Amino acid sequence: MAAIVRIIMNAAALWVAVTLLDGFNFDGSVLAFLGIGAVMGIINVTIKPILTVLSLPLIMVTLGLFLIVINAVSLWLVLLISDALSLGLTSESFGWTVGAALIVTLVSWALETFTGRR
Per residue in 23-43, pLDDT tens?
999 998 899 999 999 999 999
* pLDDT on residue 22: 93
Q: What is the pTM of this model?
A: 0.91
Please tell me the distance from the alpha carbon of residue 83 to that of residue 98, in angstroms, as a whole number.
Answer: 18
Q: What is the pLDDT of residues 92-105, one digit of tens each?
A: 999 999 999 999 99
Q: Is 52 exposed, middle or buried (0-12, 13-18, 19+ CB in 10 A)?
A: middle
Which alpha helices (DSSP H) does the chain contain, by range? Answer: 2-20, 30-54, 56-61, 66-84, 94-115
